[in-house]
Structure 1
Amino acid sequence: MRIANVVQLGIKELRGLARDPMLLVLIAYAFTISIYTASSAMPETLNRATIGIVDEDQSPVSSRILTAFYPPYFTVPRLISPPEMDSRMDAGLDTFALDIPPNFQRDLLAGRSPAIQLNIDATRMSQAFTGGGYVQSIVTGEVNEFLDRYRSNEPLPVELAVRARFNPELNKSWFGAVTNVIASITMLSIILTGAALIREREHGTIEHLLVMPVTPVEIMMGKIWSMGLVVLVASAFALVVVVEGLLRVPIEGSLALFLAGTALQLFATTAMGIFLATVAGSMPQFGLLLMLVLLPLQVLSGAITPRESMPEIIRTIMLAAPNTHFVILAQAVLFRGAGLGVVWPQLAALLAIGLGLFFFALRRFRSFLG
Structure 2
Amino acid sequence: MRFGTIFHLGVKELRGLLREPALIAFILYAFTIAVYTEAKAVPETLNNAPIAIVDEDNSPLSRRIADSFLPPYFKPPIMISTAEMDARMDAGTDTFALDIPPNFQSDLIAGKAPVIQLNVDATRMTQAFSGSGYIQNIVATEVGEFGATDAAGAGSGVGLTLRARFNPELNQMWFASVMNVITNVTMLSIILTGTALIREREHGTVEHLLVMPLTPFEIMAAKVWSMGLVVLVTTFLSLIVVVQGLLQVPIEGSLALFMAGAAVHLLATSAMGIALATIAGTMPQFGLLLMLVLLPLQILSGATTPRESMPEIIQTIMLAAPNTHFILLAQAILYRGAGLSVVWPQFVWLAAIALIFFVFSLRSFRRSLV
Q: TM-score range by the shorter chain?
A: 0.7 to 0.9
In structure 1, runs of 5+ residues without a counterpart are: none
- Give the aligned partner of residue 269 of structure 1: 269
Q: Displacement of 1:314 after TM fit? A: 1.9
Report whether the alignment pairs 1:131 with 2:139: no
Mapped to 1, the partners of 2:189 and 2:215 lie a distance apart of: 22
The superposition leaves residues 265-286 of structure 1 with CA deviations (integer Å, 9 ceiling, x where unpaired) of 0001111111222233432332
SS at match of 1:69: coil
Return the letter of the residue paired with 1:290: L
- Give the aligned partner of residue 279 of structure 1: 279
- Give the aligned partner of residue 362 of structure 1: 362
The superposition leaves residues 200-226 of structure 1 with CA deviations (integer Å, 9 ceiling, x where unpaired) of 222222233233332222221111011
**C-alpha spacing 1:83/1:331, structure 2 compared with 1 (3 Å):** same
* Preserved contact between residue 59 and residue 105 of structure 1 (Cα < 8 Å): no
SS at match of 1:71: coil
Q: Displacement of 1:87 after TM fit? A: 5.5
Instruction: Give the structure-1-normalised TM-score.
Output: 0.84
SS at match of 1:126: helix
Q: Displacement of 1:228 after TM fit? A: 0.5
Mapped to 2, the partners of 1:85 and 1:287 lie a distance apart of: 50
**C-alpha spacing 1:98/1:314, structure 2 compared with 1 (3 Å):** same
Return the letter of the residue paired with 1:315: Q
The correspondence of residues 15-94 of structure 1 with structure 2, limited to 5 A, is 15-41=15-41, 43=43, 45-53=45-53, 57=56, 59-60=58-59, 66-80=66-80, 85=85, 88-94=88-94
The superposition leaves residues 162-205 of structure 1 with CA deviations (integer Å, 9 ceiling, x where unpaired) of 54443444443333332122112111111111111222222222
Q: Displacement of 1:344 after TM fit? A: 1.5
The correspondence of residues 247-262 of structure 1 with structure 2, limited to 5 A, is 247-262=247-262
Q: Displacement of 1:304 after TM fit? A: 2.6
Return the letter of the residue paired with 2:34: S
Mapped to 1, the partners of 2:140 and 2:260 lie a distance apart of: 53
**C-alpha spacing 1:113/1:318, structure 2 compared with 1 (3 Å):** same
- Give the aligned partner of residue 309 of structure 1: 309
The superposition leaves residues 324-362 of structure 1 with CA deviations (integer Å, 9 ceiling, x where unpaired) of 111111122223332222222111110111111112222
User: Is the deviation greater in 58-67 or in 317-326?
Assistant: 58-67
In structure 2, runs of 5+ residues without a counterpart are: none
User: Is the deviation greater in 118-127 or in 14-23?
Assistant: 118-127
Q: Displacement of 1:107 after TM fit? A: 11
Q: Number of residue pairs matched? A: 366
Mapped to 2, the partners of 1:203 and 1:284 lie a distance apart of: 16
- Give the aligned partner of residue 95 of structure 1: 95
Mapped to 2, the partners of 1:106 and 1:249 lie a distance apart of: 43
The superposition leaves residues 78-105 of structure 1 with CA deviations (integer Å, 9 ceiling, x where unpaired) of 345667655544554322234567x676
Return the letter of the residue paired with 1:353: I
- Give the aligned partner of residue 202 of structure 2: 202
The superposition leaves residues 232-262 of structure 1 with CA deviations (integer Å, 9 ceiling, x where unpaired) of 1111222233333333333333322221111
Mapped to 1, the partners of 2:197 and 2:87 lie a distance apart of: 54
- Give the aligned partner of residue 291 of structure 2: 291
Q: Displacement of 1:158 after TM fit? A: 4.7
**C-alpha spacing 1:76/1:318, structure 2 compared with 1 (3 Å):** same
- Give the aligned partner of residue 14 of structure 1: 14
Amino-acid identity (%): 66
Return the letter of the residue paired with 2:178: V
Return the letter of the residue paired with 1:16: G
Instruction: Give the structure-2-normalised TM-score.
Output: 0.84
SS at match of 1:46: coil
SS at match of 1:214: coil
What is the Cα-based RMSD across aligned positions, in Å? Answer: 3.5
* Preserved contact between residue 45 and residue 171 of structure 2 (Cα < 8 Å): no
* Preserved contact between residue 57 and residue 104 of structure 2 (Cα < 8 Å): no
